[in-house]
Structure 1
Amino acid sequence: MSAQHLKTASGASRSLARSRPRYGEVLVKAVLMLAALVSVATTVGIVFALLEPTIEFFGEVSLGEFFGSTTWGPLFNPPAFGVWPIIVATLEITLIAIVVAVPLGLAAAIYLSEYATPRVRKIFKPVLEVLAGVPTVVFGFFALTFVTPLLRDVFPFLELEAKNGLGAGLLVGVMIIPIVASLSEDSMAAVPNGLREGSYALGASKMLTSVRVVVPAAFSGIVAAIILAISRAAGETMIVAIAGGFKSVFTLYPGDEMSTMAAFIAQAGSGDASVGSIAYKTIFAVGSLLFIMTFAMNYVSARMVQKYREVYD
């Protein structure tokens, strides 16, 4: 090799070694770390905001009374603190929402991932995600003024109150369809095409390949989407407040008016409870319980994703 070539190679090596610091990358890294810290700090702040009033509440109301009674009326005189009516209402409406959202959301995800052409997918997926941007107050009034009267006309044997859990649950289900559909479609799109091609080579149809190959391969992402949708449904406020009502009575019939945990927080926080009173502290106790429930669901979701995640080369 000539001296000129050695000089050029040596110069290039020294040039690479003396490359300037990439301040842009450092700045991006700092911004991303700051965003992560803000998220963590917000969660910690919520915990601390709930903790002190919750401890004060349980200093006056025992856990036995809170979890051992089915009479709920912190704003009444005399007050009652049996939390089960609003827990059951929350679970009922969430269950109705999941029964609506999971089949429709998964069907939409399978269509977008396996059947739709790129042009159709480019149109339909943004339209579906726009549904998540509709204000929930609109869903609430739609359930109250259209869905409940429609249910009464179509199913006259149902004894539905003007505000009821069934209408609220159906619209909460419609609201969370984009969560299930979009996240599930993303998980299915990440499945390698080699699995599909292998299934087709064995003579499987597109439907069989979608149901028996693609969906199981994307199972962890689908489960995460469903649990995220459950958490969103459990914490929904405006739809259940407008269409479900504020009547806190222990009932298993979804046609009755009922109040969820989030709806109670909205009602009590609107000015009916004086600051520092036991009724005011009830807001934080119920908020802490709802926070623990959603945190537990998200934790289960994370564990299931780790357990069933498929790693492809």
Structure 2
Amino acid sequence: MTEKLIRLNQTKRLSPKLIRNLRERGIEILLFLAALSSVATMAAIIFFLLRESLAFFKEVSLFDFLTDTKWTPMFLEKHYGILPLISGTLVTSTIALLFAIPTGTIAAIYLSEFAPPTLREIIKPGLELLAAIPTVVYGYFALLVVSPFLRKIFTELPVFNMLSAGLVMGLMIIPFISSISEDAMRAVPVELREGSYAMG
């Protein structure tokens, strides 16, 4: 009788393999739900963007949106031309690249070739920490520090100007340029370095 009870209890118990399979199945379901929620969020964003865009283009023609040279949505005479936004983006991006590429490359060369290891261990994490600063902080810095400083040099410069925006954007991307360039330089094999040194 006791042997039958023991066998009955053993059959009622779940095997370790079955328990492991059930846990893995539960984890798979949770991961699937997480992936599904991210896809649903993206689909909702696209849906609301399309809905609001269609409502906008019922009032403003696509031709005026693409060709109008004014962006004054808050004025009495409203204009919704995208050309000023595109041109402003291109100008500020050009200023940012002209400032950031030489500065970031020079910093990368110094860190890769000349900086002592102890100094490199301090400077490189500091540069990478700059990349974590929110863009709002950079914008606040541009408005309160950079723009007033530039207006002292260029007196006719307005408060909201492309030069200060471009310089601060360049300051934002310097950590990325210097970090990527420094990693690329340090990835060069020693044989190639010595060969280039030998060639002068």
Both structures adopt the same fold (TM-score exceeding 0.5): yes
Gaps of 5+ in 2: 1-16
After TM superposition, give the deviation of residue 126 of structure 1 in Å: 0.4
Structure 1 position 168 matched with structure 2 position 165 = yes
Secondary structure of the residue aligned to 1:133 is coil
1:182 equivalent in structure 2 = 179
Residues 1:75 and 1:96: Cα distance change in structure 2 (over 3 Å): same
After TM superposition, give the deviation of residue 103 of structure 1 in Å: 0.9
Larger Cα-atom Rg:
2
2:192 equivalent in structure 1 = 195
TM-score after normalising by structure 2:
0.71
After TM superposition, give the deviation of residue 41 of structure 1 in Å: 6.8
2:127 equivalent in structure 1 = 128
Give the Cα separation in 2 of the matches to 1:191 and 1:47: 43
Residues 1:35 and 1:129: Cα distance change in structure 2 (over 3 Å): farther
Q: What whole-Å deviation, never above 9, does each CA across 1:32-79 have from its counterpart, x for those lacking one? A: 999988877765554344223223323432221111111222233342
1:100 equivalent in structure 2 = 99
After TM superposition, give the deviation of residue 164 of structure 1 in Å: 1.6
What code does the residue aligned with 1:181 have? S
Residues 1:79 and 1:151: Cα distance change in structure 2 (over 3 Å): closer
Q: What whole-Å deviation, never above 9, does each CA across 1:74-110 have from its counterpart, x for those lacking one? A: 2333421211112212222222111111111111122
Per mean C-alpha deviation after superposition, the further-off stretch among 133-142 and 56-65 is 133-142
Residues 1:141 and 1:81: Cα distance change in structure 2 (over 3 Å): closer
Identity %: 51
Give the Cα separation in 2 of the matches to 1:106 and 1:78: 47
Give the Cα separation in 2 of the matches to 1:41 and 1:105: 39
Higher relative contact order (CA closer than 8 Å, sequence separation 6+): 1
Instruction: Output aligned runs, 1:55-66, within 5 Å.
Output: 55-66=54-65
Secondary structure of the residue aligned to 2:123 is helix
Is contact 2:93-2:166 (8 Å) kept?
A: yes
Instruction: Output aligned runs, 1:1-313, within 5 Å.
Output: 46-153=45-152, 155-156=153-154, 159-200=156-197, 203-205=198-200
After TM superposition, give the deviation of residue 196 of structure 1 in Å: 1.4
What code does the residue aligned with 2:72 have? G
Q: What whole-Å deviation, never above 9, does each CA across 1:186-229 have from its counterpart, x for those lacking one? A: 233333333212222xx234xxxxxxxxxxxxxxxxxxxxxxxx
Residues 1:62 and 1:109: Cα distance change in structure 2 (over 3 Å): same
2:14 equivalent in structure 1 = none
What code does the residue aligned with 2:91 have? E
Q: Which has the higher helix share?
A: 2
2:8 equivalent in structure 1 = none
What code does the residue aligned with 2:182 have? E
Across the two proteins, how many residue pairs are aligned to each other?
176
